[in-house]
Chain A
Amino acid sequence: MSDQQPRSQTILVVGGGISGVTAALEAAEAGYETVLLEAGPSLGGRVAQLNRYFPKLCHPTCGLEINYQRIRKNPRVKVFTMAQVDGVSGERGNYSVTVKTSPRYVNANCTACGACAEASETKVADPFDYGLGETTAAHLPHEMAFPMRYVIDPSVIGTPEAQKIKDACKYDAIDLEETEQTFDLQVGAIVWATGWRPYDPANLTNYNHASLPDVVNNVEMERLAAHDGPTGGRITRPSDGTEAKRVAMIQCAGSRDLNHLPYCSRICCLASMKHAAYVREQYADAQVDIYYIDIRAHDKLEAFYNKLKVDPQVSWIKSKPSAIEAGPDGRPVVKGENTITREIYAAPYDLVVLATGMEPSVAGEHLPVNTGQDEYSFVVPAQPAEEGVAAAGVASGPLDVSMSTQSATAAALKAIQAVAGPAR
Chain B
Amino acid sequence: MEGKQTGVYLCSGCGIGEALDMDALAEVASKEFKLPVKQSECLCGDAGVKTISDDLENGEVNQVVVGACSPRVMADRFRFGSTQVVRANLREQVVWMQPAGEEDTQMLAADNIRMAATQSGKIAPPTPHEESVESSRVLVVGGGPAGLAAAREASGAGHEVLLVDKADQLGGNARGRTALTPHKPPYRGLQENDIESDVQAVENDNRITVKTGTTVTETSGMPGQYSVTLSGGAQEKVGAIVVATGWRAYDPSNLGHLGYGASPDVVTNVELEGMLSEGGARRRSDGNAPKSVAFIQCAGQRDHNHLPYCSSVCCAVTLKQALQLKKADPETMVYVVYDEMRTPGTAEEFYREAQEQGVIFIKGSVKNVGSDLQVTVDDHLLGEEVPMSGLDMVVLATGMVPNSTDPDQETPEYGAEQLDNDINPESPIKVAGYNNGEPEVPERPGTAPSGGPILNLQYRQGPHLPMLADGFADSHYICFPYETRRTGIYTCGPVRRPMDMAEAREDAAGAALKAVQAIHNASEGAAVHPRSGDLSFPRIGYSACTRCRRCTVECPFGAIDEDDQDYPLVNPTRCRRCGTCMGACPVRTISFDNYSVDMLSSMIKSVEIPDEFDEKPRILVMACENDAYPALDMAGINRAGLSPYVRIVPVRCLGSVSLLCISDALSVGYDGALLLGCKSGDDYQCHFVKGSAMAEERLSKVGETLKSMMLEAERVVQAEASIADSGRLPQVINDFVKEIDDLGPNPFKGF
Residues of A at the B interface (CB closer than 8 Å) are: 18, 22, 25-26, 29-31, 51, 53, 55-70, 72-75, 109, 111-114, 140, 143-144, 148, 170-171, 226-228, 232-233, 256, 262-266, 277, 280-286, 294-304, 306-308, 310-313, 318, 339-341, 372, 374-376, 378, 380, 397-399, 401-403, 405-407, 409-410, 412-414, 416-417, 420-422
Contact = CB atoms under 8 A, between A and B. Distances in A.
Contact of A339 (B381, B439, B503, B638): B381
Interface stretch (B274-282, B309-317, B325-333, B556-564): B309-317
Contacts of A55: 425, 683
B683 A413 contact: no
Interface string B137-168: 00000000000000001001110000000000
Given A111-B42, A311-B431, A170 B13 contact: yes
Interface string B410-452: 0000000000000001111111111110011110100000000
B45 interface: yes
B431 A299 contact: no
A317 B498 CA distance: 27
B685 A58 contact: yes
Given A62-B479, A283-B432, 12 more contacts: A30-B517, A53-B478, A171-B13, A263-B345, A299-B310, A303-B309, A307-B427, A312-B439, A378-B346, A380-B184, A405-B480, A407-B510
Contacts of A341: 383
A111 B14 contact: yes
B309 A410 contact: no
A60 B478 CA distance: 9
Nearest to A399: B345
Classify chain B: how many residues form its interface, as a range.
35 or more
Given A29-B532, A421-B158, A422-B158, A72 B431 contact: no
Nearest to A21: B479
A311 B433 CA distance: 10
A264 B345 contact: yes
B723 A61 contact: yes
Nearest to A32: B520
B32 interface: no
B674 interface: no
Contact of A113 (B13, B345, B433, B470): B13
B73 A112 contact: yes
B624 to A, nearest CB: 10
15 contacts: A56-B683, A58-B478, A58-B685, A61-B723, A62-B479, A69-B530, A227-B728, A262-B349, A262-B352, A286-B432, A294-B340, A294-B342, A374-B187, A405-B480, A406-B510
Given A281-B432, A300-B425, A300-B472, A266 B345 contact: yes
Given A111-B69, A264-B343, A416-B513, A340 B309 contact: no
A214 B298 CA distance: 38
Contact of B348 (A264, A277, A298): A264
A143 B638 contact: yes
Interface in B471-520: 472, 474, 476-482, 497-499, 503, 506-510, 512-514, 516-517, 520
B360 interface: no
Interface stretch (B215-223, B256-264, B626-634): B626-634
A402 B481 contact: yes
B641 interface: no
A135 B427 CA distance: 39
Contact of A300 (B75, B309, B528): B309
Contacts of A64: 479
A65 B565 CA distance: 41
Interface in B100-123: none
B346 A374 contact: yes
Interface class of chain B by DSSP = loop
B308 interface: yes
Given A59-B722, A72-B76, A140-B637, A299 B533 contact: no
B433 A406 contact: no
B506 A29 contact: no
Nearest to A145: B637
B591 interface: no
A277 B342 contact: no
Interface in B68-97: 69, 72-76, 79
A284 B479 contact: no
A231 B467 CA distance: 40
A266 B627 CA distance: 29
Given A30-B520, A232-B727, A413-B153, A302 B302 contact: yes
Contacts of A62: 479, 626-627, 678, 685, 722-724
A69 B530 CA distance: 9
Contacts of A264: 343-345, 347-348
Interface string B47-86: 0000000000000000000000100111110010000000
A302 B307 CA distance: 11
Nearest to B627: A62
A18 B726 contact: no
A61 B724 contact: yes
Nearest to A28: B532
Contacts of B513: 26, 30, 409-410, 412-413, 416
A301 B433 CA distance: 24
Interface string B717-743: 000001111111000000000000000
A299 B309 contact: yes
B422 to A, nearest CB: 15
Given A30-B520, A340-B380, A416-B157, A303 B469 contact: yes
Nearest to A23: B513
Contacts of B517: 26, 29-30
B578 to A, nearest CB: 12
B469 A413 contact: no
Nearest to A67: B479
A71 to B, nearest CB: 9
A31 B343 CA distance: 38
Nearest to A61: B723
A413 B44 contact: no
**8 tightest A-B contacts by CB?**
A284-B433, A63-B479, A410-B509, A303-B425, A409-B510, A413-B513, A72-B75, A113-B14
A191 to B, nearest CB: 12
B348 A73 contact: no
B529 interface: yes
A74 B627 contact: no
A298 B313 CA distance: 9
Contact of B185 (A59, A232, A374): A374
Interface string B330-366: 0000000000111111111100100000000001000
B348 A417 contact: no
Given A143-B637, A401-B479, A414 B509 contact: yes
